[in-house]
Amino acid sequence: MTRVQFYHNTPDRLALTCELVASAQAGGRRVAVRVPDAALARRLDQQLWTATPLAFVPHVMADSPLAAETPVIIGTADSNPAWPHADLLFNLAEDVPPGFEQFRSVVEIVGQNEAEKAPARARWMHYKKNEHPLKAFDAESRTAL
CATH for 56: 3.40.50.10110
Helix or strand (DSSP H, E) at 127:
helix 114-129
Mean pLDDT, rounded, for 104-123: 97
Q: Is the pLDDT of residue 80 over 90?
A: no
pLDDT in the model for residue 125: 98
Least confident of 51-55, 62-66, 124-128: 51-55
The range of the structural domain enclosing residue 79 comes to 3-144
CB contact set of 95 (below 8 Å; sequence gap of 6+) = 77, 119, 123
Average pLDDT of the chain, as a whole number = 95
Mean pLDDT, rounded, for 69-84: 95
CB contact set of 144 (below 8 Å; sequence gap of 6+) = 135, 136, 137, 138
What total of structural domains would you count in the chain?
1
